[in-house]
Amino acid sequence: MHDKTAFAHLFPATTLREYDIRGIVGETLHTADAFAIGRTFGSIVARKGGSRVAVGRDGRLSSPEFSATLIEGLIASGMHVTDIGVGPTPMLYFAATTEATDGAIMVTGSHNPANYNGFKMMMGRKPFFGDDIQTLGRLAAAGDVVAPAEGSVVTRDISAAYLARLLQDWDGGDRALNVVWDSGNGSAGDVLQRLVKALRGRHTVLNAEIDGRFPAHHPDPTVPKNLEQLVTAVRKQGADIGIAFDGDADRIGIVDDTGEILFGDQFLILLARDVLATHPGATIIADVKASQVLFDQIEKAGGKPLMWKTGHSLIKSKMAETGAPLAGEMSGHIFFADKWYGFDDALYAAIRVLNAVIHSGKSVSAFRKSLPQVLNTPELRFDCEESRKFSVVAEVAERLRADGATVSQTDGVRVNTEDGWWLLRASNTQAVLVARAEAATPAGLARLKATLASQLAASGLAPDFSGANAGH
């Protein structure tokens, strides 16, 4: 027996999140944490009878050191590691799904600022999240790991195989598109530049160099400010479409040919129509933050809309359970099980978006303008103590039920009224409440926001709704 106390490691509680382990480099995240993650995750794999783990990393300045230390921890648990190097998170998912692996870890801070980093994990072919991460934290704190063993590491470039698989589902058709891409100096850069060379049409890649300082702009395509450079380039070139990625390329943003931004629940309609043409009657999943227009349009296209909880790991699990060929989130995570493997991959989603645009025979702006016009707020975030956020949502739900309101509690509370709907949910990753509202008229939206504000006030919060109007 080995001395467990010698291996005990305590993670800061804030880093053990719902979907990954993430923190601020040098403050809440250190190389000692990386080693402990490798040591403990490797022990979990070993106890399940496995021994092979794939590791990848993004382009952050801290990622090489974190990756090297993580691998040391895995080797110390007897793991045989395949290091796939720098690239998008979906390329690591691809390796874990198509290669003979028992687990996988991606070193990435995703769309967080440059001074953050973290670890996304898979066990077998499934996401490792929620209770799995808390269990890893408890095992590490107790030093409950396997006896020291000698593993190994090999470096393997799988980018060519990944590119070939992406291109397998490219349907160039007879329409050559003019596309502007923004890699945001994220980890997709090298793969993306090779990908566009194989695509028909004209392709311009902005910020292709992988640079963990993110000098051009923050790599989060859900924030309109981060798309300003792409919008300008699309308008200047008269391009057909603009496509942006986040820092590790598991989320996608879209700009149409007039430079207008399409939200995740809008371009998911385009993709859903395309998928339903070959899978009539299929279930299409979207998260609770999505517009009612999306669910209505899926039904209109002959699909079965399913509203589900926000969170890429939760969506992936629900897809596997229901056999849905397509799912998406407002945050730009798009999941294809039709022809693909069910994980979120912005590069693959981009291929399918281009296919759908070509198949539609229309411009992206014509598609956008054809959708029912509604007014909605962007995602609103209100600070709320970690210990209070879930109880506030429960209090709101209880009051609404007592008033006889129509409430869905799939994830938080989503309330339908004659004006439209509003949503309140607790973030799984931050000490905030997230809200959204949508109506057909400005007066209707004002009423929904007033109801939401009164409910928050009844639970002791004072929300600020400044800048909370948008249209799509």
Active site positions, annotated: 110
Sheet hosting strand 178-182, strand order edge to edge: 202-206, 178-182, 241-245, 252-255, 261-262
**Both structure tokens of 450:** 């007033």
Residue 437's contacts (CB-CB under 8 Å, 6 or more residues apart) are 376, 377, 420, 421, 422, 423, 445, 448, 449, 452, 468
Cα angle 88, 89, 91; round to 5 = 70
* 149/355 Cα distance (integer angstroms): 49
* 403/395 Cα distance (integer angstroms): 13
At 227, phi and psi to the nearest 5?
-105, 5
Give the number of C-alpha atoms closer than 13 A to the C-alpha of residue 243, restricted to the C-beta side. 29
Distance between terminal CA atoms of the chain?
62
* 67/31 Cα distance (integer angstroms): 9
* 21/66 Cα distance (integer angstroms): 13
CB 434 within 8 A of CB 409: no
Residue 416's contacts (CB-CB under 8 Å, 6 or more residues apart) are 406, 408
* 285/322 Cα distance (integer angstroms): 9
Amino acid at 17: R
Cα angle 111, 329, 468; round to 5 = 80
Amino acid at 274: D
* 206/181 Cα distance (integer angstroms): 6
C-alpha 292, offset from chain centre = 21
Burial class (CB in 10 A: 0-12, 13-18, 19+), 173: middle
CB 183 within 8 A of CB 86: no
Residue 216's contacts (CB-CB under 8 Å, 6 or more residues apart) are 184, 185, 206, 207, 229
* 23/74 Cα distance (integer angstroms): 20
Nearest alpha carbon to residue 51 among 155, 159, 150: 150
